Structures are given as C-alpha cells and as structure tokens.
Amino acid sequence: MARSLVEIKNVTKAFGENIVLDDFSLSVGENEFMTLLGPSGCGKTTLLRIVGGFDTPDSGRVFFEGKDITDVPPNKRQVNTVFQKYALFPHMNVGQNIAFGLKISGKTDEYIRDKVKYGLKMVNLEGFESRRIESLSGGQQQRVAMARAIVNEPKLLLLDEPLGALDLKLRQELSYELKKLKDELGITFLYVTHDQEEALTMSDKVVVMNGGYIQQMGTPEEIYNEPQNAFVAQFIGDSNIVDGIMLEDRLVEIYGAAFPCIDEGFGEKQPVDVVIRPEDIIIRKPGMGKMDGVVTSNVFIGVHYEMIVLANGFEWLVQDTTSYAVGEEVSIDVLPENIQIMHKPKTKEAEAIELDV
C-alpha cells in the first residue's frame, strides 16, 4: 500500500448557505493517480483548490507528508496546478512560459535552459521553445501547461479538468499520455473530471463524489463492476437499475422472474436494488431465457447495437454485437455473476444523496 502523501481530515466548506464539502476526509497515496469524479457542484474542484491552497476550509485540516499545510500559501507548497484554462501568458513564447516559475524561484539561466528542454521532451514538444502561444493548438497548449508544472518538480500535481476544452479524440490521446507521464515522473496526480471514461482510463483509484460526500472509492474495475449504490451505478456507464426482491441467498426476483445471483446476506424476501449492465444482458430465442420480450428500438453506435427490449413491463437497455430487428420477439437472460445486488437507501436523506444526479 502506498504511503500517504496528502491527508484531508474532516474538511467542511460552505459558500453562503451552500455546503459544498461536509466533514470530508480523504487520503492520497504517494505516486498515486487519484481521480475525483462527479457531476458539477459535487465539491471536487473546491477540494482541489483547498489542497492547492487557493481556498481555505471552514473547518478541518490538510496535511502534506504529515505536516499541517492548511494555512500555508500556494507558492509555499510542493504542489503545482494545471487548470482547464491553461493560464498561459500570450506575450511570452513557449520556453518563457515554461521557465516562468523557475525564474521566480531564482534558478540560474543554465538550470532553466536544461529544465525547459527536459519539460518539452517529456510532453513531446521538443523544438517548440520559440513558438508563440497563439500559434499552438489546444492540445499543444495543454502540453505546455503540463511542462510548466512538471519542471518545478512538485511532489503533487493537481489537474482541474485539463482536457475539458479539447475534442474527444484529442482528449483520449492525451489521457493516455498523462498516465504515461505520471509513471515516468513518479509524481502523485490528483485529477478532477466529470468524464467517466477519463477516470476509468487513467486512474489507479477513483473517488466518486456527489453532494459533498464520497459515494464510493476504489479501482476503476471495482467502481464499474461493483457499484455500491444507485448513484454510482447511474454515473459510471449505462445501467439497468430495477427493483428486486431477494428471495433468499443467491436468488433474486425481478419483475416476477427468478434470477440466480452470487450475492448473500440480504435476508429473505427483502426489497433490494438490482444493477445489470446492458452489455451483460444475453439475448436468446423466445422461451430460452428468464423473460420473453420484444425489441422496440435498435441503434448502431459503432462497436455494438444499442437496443431496447420490452420485457415484463420494463424497457431493458441491451448492448450486443448482433442486431435484432425492431418488433422481433426475443428472450433475455443474465449470468449470476453479472447481477449486482445493493441495499436500498434506509432513509430519505440517504436516497437524496445517492440519486441527486
């Protein structure tokens, strides 16, 4: 287990009557790529700004390598930040932008030249020292902002939706490069995004946030395959979330049909929430699955067909590489290990926190 680099302990932050973070605690491991994922207003950017020293919590403390840095100004922290708006200086060329922080720190000209070359090499922009900022593409400007941050050798790099202004293909390309860069540099990354694909692609650990609370924390595989509540299941990928009755261990009833599952400990005849991913639904011939139904919609989206199957009164979202015609009668089935059972929220407050997408 990675040694803790940052400890956020019992942090609360409000803007007026709006509580953005509520008694929030989190540990960030050394050399970890941790992503804060959630919808707008969930508190992720506020948390990043508190760690960076740009905002002060109303209560709670922030520790860096065991030292309390809650009241330490941003320029005194071993932290650098890359924002969605890269904040590059248009009157400076690429090399001057990258060198800015080093000049402020009083480094020698020789040291700065070496560091600028190193930074450009790390972000695949060698030979761009004299280029003007306005001549660069959005992706190139993002790389310059990254180079400016890494030449200062921070122990922690904060990234606030740095790919948000780029087109889809470029975002995908740069997300892979960011992961590679983190591994090469040995820097801890704390990354903010509302894009689930970015989070699942790059992260060692994902923290799903909503309403100022952590909904779930784990590896990308754990978050996707084992969502702990309805909010996480809805926010991470597509899901069929339905009411079920846990008949007994390893057997759940869904819309009148009994499905074997692998979950235990929910009691007998207890109401539960059931999550089934659309890619896990198997389409069989009529009468061969657990529920018979009819295809009511079919859209080709590149790698598979996205279909709606009306079965037992519910419109099931199904993703399959085989196309079934609208109006075709089918039967649906699900393997036991692909059925995720969750406790229903016990209180109205808990339900609001989970489902406030």
The pTM of the full predicted model, rounded to 2 decimals, is 0.86
Tell me how crowded residue 301 is: count the other CB atoms within 10 A of its CB.
8
**Average pLDDT value for residue range 159-175:** 77
Q: Where are the beta strands (DSSP E) in 178-335?
A: 188-193, 205-210, 213-218, 240-248, 251-254, 257-260, 270-276, 281-284, 291-300, 305-311, 314-320, 329-334
**Average pLDDT value for residue range 67-78:** 94
The fold of 4-225 is Rossmann fold (3.40.50)
- Would you place residue 298 in the very low, low, confident or very high pLDDT band (cuts 50, 70, 90)? very high
- Would you place residue 138 in the very low, low, confident or very high pLDDT band (cuts 50, 70, 90)? confident
State the span(s) of the chain assigned CATH 3.40.50.300: 4-225
39-43, 86-90, 257-261: range with lowest mean pLDDT: 86-90
Check whether 119 has a pLDDT greater than 80.
Answer: yes
For residue 211, give the nearest of 350, 345, 353 by alpha carbon.
353
Place of tokens 């754990």: 222
For residue 29, give the nearest of 207, 162, 174 by alpha carbon.
207
Place of tokens 């080093």: 102
Strand order in the sheet with 188-193: 79-83, 156-160, 188-193, 33-37, 205-210, 213-218
> Interior CA angle at 323 toward 195 and 308, to 5°?
60
Check whether 356 has a pLDDT greater than 60.
Answer: no
Rounded distance between C-alpha atoms, residue 248 and residue 284, angstroms: 26
**Average pLDDT value for residue range 178-195:** 88
Rounded distance between C-alpha atoms, residue 324 and residue 113, angstroms: 62
**Average pLDDT value for residue range 245-274:** 97
Check whether 350 has a pLDDT greater than 60.
Answer: no
**Average pLDDT value for residue range 79-99:** 87
CATH class, 230-355 region: mainly beta
Looking at residue 352, its pLDDT comes to 43
Task: Tell me if residue 313 falls in helix, strand or coil.
Answer: coil
| pLDDT, tens digit, 9 for 90 and up, residues 300-332 | 999 999 999 999 999 999 999 999 999 999 999
Cβ atoms 258, 252 nearer than 8 A: yes
- Would you place residue 1 in the very low, low, confident or very high pLDDT band (cuts 50, 70, 90)? low
State the span(s) of the chain assigned CATH 2.40.50.140: 230-355
**Average pLDDT value for residue range 161-167:** 75
Question: Which is higher by pLDDT, 184 or 272?
Answer: 272
**Average pLDDT value for residue range 78-83:** 87
